[in-house]
Structure 1
Amino acid sequence: MVLAAAITVLAIVTQDQAQLRAAPKDSAQQQAVLWQGDSLEIRGEKLDYLQVYDHRRERAGYIKASQVRIISTKPDDASELLSVVRFLGDTPGAEALGIAYTAVFLKAAPVQAINAEAFDTLGGMAERLARRASNKALNPGVKQNDTQIAAHLEVAAYYGVNLKSIERDGRIQLCYDGEAFRRVLAMNASQMQKAKAALALTRPDCIDPATRPTERNNIDLWRAEVLDKVEITELPEYQKNRIRMRRAGVWSSIAFQRQRKGDNSNNSNYSEAAANRALTELAGVNKTEMSDEDLVSYAEAGVRTGSMRWAAEPAPLPTSADSKNLRIVTTPGQPGETCVALLDAQHDSKAPLAQRCTYSLVWAASARSNPQHTALTLAVQPMDTWREMWLFHQTGKEWVIDVIPPATAEPDLGYAEFAGWVPGTTKFLMAREARVDGRYKRSFEIVSGESLQVERWADNPNSLSVFYRWQDPLWKKQTISLR
């Protein structure tokens, strides 16, 4: 706390918009407006008012005794303060007051009496306050008092609770910096407390979108290390699921970054190992032990892992140059660029049927040619959470390359993947899964190879007889969309 060490009795404001007056009268001039959680030094008492000094605003004055609680910072009173902290820790809207009580408890309690519980509760309140403020910023229609939220944030900052601002989609999101949760991980905490701390510290939505790739890689490696510190065998099933889902998302990002760097020198650093770790964690989720909130997290983990599943597949075997089948060949282009050439028995890399260069990851193992040798699909990934499908197809005498995204929205989270060819036609099957406007949509589609229009779709492949009949067995074996 910022208060002088000599102060042993404090007054904590318990009501919002309490008035600090120049005299112990309701008609006296107002000196300042106080909010729950503000701490005051008591200097006297007159009538039903307390004479106080506000160190944060450097103002003296009087406040009604009914609007504050007098608290002792003596070690003998620490247990009573902790009881109040426990109560306020689960009280929505009382985060600023709870943070104030926690600060006083940490000041009053002897060292041996301070354990992970206080920091666990403090972190939870700080994170809840950040969510309240972010919900207002991200959803302007939510009815909340802007002045109240701003005041509570100032109170929290006074006690050393730091919230960072992240710009996302043109709006500001607040995230707690996690200092209290870091202390939980460093202390002799229970596995449940460590799990809560690890989940709070590894939130993907609290990573600045403007983070550079190298910095992002270091962050993800740290996130993986934090999550691995949690021993999940002692956790309840729903909490095991949350850790596994978060691990799946983190290791998917690591797989993308390793593949991007092309670090194949050591199996422990190879992208295939990271992708397999992500798939293993996702497969370990118990779908019968999930809340509605967990269903959203599971959908996110599934999309993140699904977008990187090709990293877990072995490299394709070379195709004979005299084969009639269409095939692709990748060659380096400009620094960081990969050029993709479409070849067949009559066209080599010097005169390809079609060619395009990209800075995205090209998954050569995903290439699939139709029986008529007039079309080929390829998975191409520009971002760790966004995988597109390229369609090489013949239009008359020309070859065209079309890019099919997971959704019509701006790149965020999603993947589109080939699921099979419909014999005797130019149609093909496709599975898409993406987050659009905060909601997850999964669809299985029958697409025209000529117009690229979706002719029919369903959220379950069994609902489409054509899809059910002609889905590619290899796709069905490998895909995450059928989880």
Structure 2
Amino acid sequence: MKTIAIVIGVALAGAAVQAFAANPTVLVVQDGASLRAAARDSSPQQAQLVRGEALEVRAERLDWLQVWDYRRERGGYLRKSQGLLVAGDTTTLLAQLRLTLPQDGGEGLGLALAAAYIQAATPAELAGPAGGEVLDALGRLGERIAANTGPKRAGLLDVAARYGLHFDSYEQGDGGVRVCYDGDAFRRVLSLPAAPSAKARAALAITRADCRPTTLTPAQLQASDDWRAGVLEHAPLDGLDGYERNRLLLRRAGVAASRAFEHRDNALAAQALAEFARVEATELPEDDLADYNDAAMRVNAVRWLALPQPAGRRFGNGFQLALESGVSTAEQCLTLRDAKDHVLLRKCSVAVIPLASATLNREGTALAIAAQPLDGWRELWVLRAAPEGWTVDVLPPAAASPGLGYAEFAGWVPGGQQILVASESRAEGRYASRRFVQMDLATLSAQRQSTEPKALGAFQRWADPGWSGASLALR
């Protein structure tokens, strides 16, 4: 166990492990500290150091330490006030790590202290709760370095690489690039007797959807989500604070929703709804609201899959809806027939089309049905009767490249002239909050809209009871 931990925690260039193990080691505690050619400030600067770098102590002169820098393969002098001698006992090292971890800008020093602890600890300590705490600290520091977008990022990434941490870059849907810590330390935390909060952090860190390639095939995405679900099951909910529990439940709900779409599975859709229902909204920090909204959109997109899906639907006036095979195995065709079995409309798509969501207005002139072409993205199809025949229009969650979101039927206004629609989306890096719209059925243009359904009289009077009781738009 110790050998494995040293490999992940201590990977200084050249003889770094030897530096911790043999001669005394000093850690740089000040960014921009100078490595001087002699023991005076007026001497030439050999190098500018970054907080957290480890140097081997060779001697002392006045208030300076004579040191050797293995990475640069040169010696020099460092002021004593700019260094911290590495303690030889794990108790002191762990105390110093706990003190450094919360400090903004202390990432490099924290990594060095964690590496020193791993070098000094016994196999029993590394395999116990203290070892789990140190690896959790390594992971958290790695995440903070990855999230740093300031001018010090390059230096921090360099220091982290010398301590064995690896980072990957992933292109995002909005065109940006995200740097992610590869999570090796977090993976080990899950197999150690770590605190529940540490296991929760580890599970959340290595199951982030934005830290994986955007080029994954559908089969690879499905395998990735199945793996994510297995990881999240290893993080217990017991022993967590309310906000930590919420974070884990939100991730579980989102992963279950993705798997429900990928597997076309009713039970997984029901699981996603159940996990989301366990979230306590009063225990949500402001920083978690974006994740809460994203999980709600992803889960709401699959809520119709949780219901039994009939092979066909027959309405009171004789209209019939059915799903038939398309040209390819992935394609299916929504077919609308009249009472005489004449085909009125046929639309083919690779989207999931839950017939349970279909609803016909009282006048028999329009029909609304949900269609989900992508994970987390559900559209509303509106079928309408016209003099030239039936037509179908697609209402997406937003007029943007698909991301997360839903557009859903919320009710019919008597008279056959209006439809109520609710939508929410996050696409192209922009979040569009919940919108409740009263639309003209002939043009599908908004007549009235609000962020609150109670502000619209039509929603108060004509909102569909099934929508009101099940939609996460009303969370």
Q: TM exceeds 0.5?
A: yes
Q: What is the CA–CA distance in structure 1 between the aligned matches of 2:356 and 2:414, rounded to whole Å?
A: 22
Q: Structure 1's 333 and 304: CA in aligned 2 closer, same or farther, altered over 3 A?
A: same
Task: Say whether 1:30 aligns with 2:45.
Answer: yes
Partner of 1:306: 300
Task: Say whether 1:446 aligns with 2:443.
Answer: no
Q: How many residues align?
A: 454
CA contact (8 A) 2:319 2:336 kept: no
From 407, 412, 416, give the equivalent of 2:407. 416
Partner of 1:262: none
Read off the aligned partner of 1:48 and give its amino acid letter.
Answer: D
Q: Counterparts of 1:190-201 in structure 2 under 5 Å? A: 190-201=195-206
From 358, 365, 368, give the equivalent of 1:374. 365
Please state how far the C-alpha of 1:98 moved relative to its aligned partner: 0.6
Is the partner of 2:408 in helix, strand or coil? Answer: strand
Is the partner of 1:301 in helix, strand or coil? Answer: helix
Please state how far the C-alpha of 1:287 moved relative to its aligned partner: 1.9
Please state how far the C-alpha of 1:156 moved relative to its aligned partner: 0.8
CA contact (8 A) 1:329 1:343 kept: no
CA contact (8 A) 2:312 2:322 kept: no
Query: Bigger CA drift: 123-132 or 4-13?
Result: 4-13
Q: What is the CA–CA distance in structure 2 between the aligned matches of 1:420 and 1:222, rounded to whole Å?
A: 39
Is the partner of 1:392 in helix, strand or coil? Answer: strand
Partner of 1:167: 171
Deviation track 1:45-70 (CA, whole Å, cap 9, x = no partner) reads 33433222222232332222322222
Partner of 2:285: 291
Q: What is the CA–CA distance in structure 1 between the aligned matches of 2:80 and 2:238, rounded to whole Å?
A: 50
Please state how far the C-alpha of 1:165 moved relative to its aligned partner: 0.9
Is the partner of 2:210 in helix, strand or coil? Answer: helix
Q: What is the CA–CA distance in structure 2 between the aligned matches of 1:234 and 1:4, rounded to whole Å?
A: 37
Q: What is the CA–CA distance in structure 1 between the aligned matches of 2:144 and 2:84, rounded to whole Å?
A: 23
Q: What is the CA–CA distance in structure 1 between the aligned matches of 2:189 and 2:417, rounded to whole Å?
A: 58
Q: Counterparts of 1:198-217 in structure 2 under 5 Å? A: 198-217=203-222
From 158, 161, 170, give the equivalent of 1:157. 161
From 81, 88, 94, give the equivalent of 2:93. 81
Q: Counterparts of 1:291-370 in structure 2 under 5 Å? A: 291-316=285-310, 318-319=312-313, 323-325=317-319, 327-348=321-342, 352-370=343-361
Deviation track 1:378-410 (CA, whole Å, cap 9, x = no partner) reads 211121111111112233314322111111232
Deviation track 1:97-130 (CA, whole Å, cap 9, x = no partner) reads 1111111111112222332111112211211221
Task: Say whether 1:127 aligns with 2:131.
Answer: no
Partner of 1:394: 385
Q: What is the CA–CA distance in structure 2 between the aligned matches of 1:399 and 1:369, rounded to whole Å?
A: 13
Is the partner of 1:242 in helix, strand or coil? Answer: helix
Partner of 2:5: none
Query: Bigger CA drift: 338-347 or 468-477?
Result: 338-347
Please state how far the C-alpha of 1:322 moved relative to its aligned partner: 9.8
Is the partner of 2:190 in helix, strand or coil? Answer: helix
Please state how far the C-alpha of 1:80 moved relative to its aligned partner: 0.8
Q: What is the CA–CA distance in structure 1 between the aligned matches of 2:93 and 2:315, rounded to whole Å?
A: 78
Q: What is the CA–CA distance in structure 1 between the aligned matches of 2:72 and 2:221, rounded to whole Å?
A: 39
Read off the aligned partner of 2:344 and give its amino acid letter.
Answer: L
Please state how far the C-alpha of 1:210 moved relative to its aligned partner: 2.1
Partner of 2:4: none
Please state how far the C-alpha of 1:326 moved relative to its aligned partner: 5.2
Read off the aligned partner of 1:188 and give its amino acid letter.
Answer: P
Partner of 2:261: 256
Q: What is the CA–CA distance in structure 1 between the aligned matches of 2:441 and 2:117, rounded to whole Å?
A: 68
Please state how far the C-alpha of 1:308 moved relative to its aligned partner: 0.8
Deviation track 1:107-160 (CA, whole Å, cap 9, x = no partner) reads 11222233211111221121122122xxx3xxxxxxx3x2x2210111011101
Q: Counterparts of 1:461-480 in structure 2 under 5 Å? A: 461-480=453-472
Read off the aligned partner of 1:465 and give its amino acid letter.
Answer: G
CA contact (8 A) 2:381 2:394 kept: yes
Task: Say whether 1:65 aligns with 2:77.
Answer: no
Task: Say whether 1:116 aligns with 2:132.
Answer: yes
Is the partner of 1:281 in helix, strand or coil? Answer: helix
Is the partner of 1:123 in helix, strand or coil? Answer: helix
CA contact (8 A) 2:314 2:321 kept: no
From 445, 450, 456, give the equivalent of 2:448. 456
CA contact (8 A) 2:314 2:320 kept: no
Is the partner of 1:365 in helix, strand or coil? Answer: helix
CA contact (8 A) 1:299 1:440 kept: no
Partner of 1:229: 234
Q: What is the CA–CA distance in structure 1 between the aligned matches of 2:321 and 2:329, rounded to whole Å?
A: 24
Please state how far the C-alpha of 1:209 moved relative to its aligned partner: 2.3
Unpaired runs of at least 5, structure 2: 1-9
Read off the aligned partner of 1:103 and give its amino acid letter.
Answer: A
CA contact (8 A) 2:23 2:58 kept: no
Please state how far the C-alpha of 1:347 moved relative to its aligned partner: 4.9
User: What TM-score does the superposition give when structure 1 sets the normalisation length?
Assistant: 0.89
Read off the aligned partner of 1:199 and give its amino acid letter.
Answer: L
Is the partner of 1:303 in helix, strand or coil? Answer: helix
CA contact (8 A) 1:375 1:392 kept: yes
Q: Structure 1's 381 and 442: CA in aligned 2 closer, same or farther, altered over 3 A?
A: same
Query: Bigger CA drift: 187-196 or 315-324?
Result: 315-324
Partner of 1:427: 418
Is the partner of 1:362 in helix, strand or coil? Answer: coil
RMSD: 2.0
From 101, 107, 118, give the equivalent of 1:95. 107
Q: What is the CA–CA distance in structure 2 between the aligned matches of 1:357 and 1:164, rounded to whole Å?
A: 39
Identity across the alignment (%): 40
Q: What is the CA–CA distance in structure 1 between the aligned matches of 2:430 and 2:139, rounded to whole Å?
A: 26
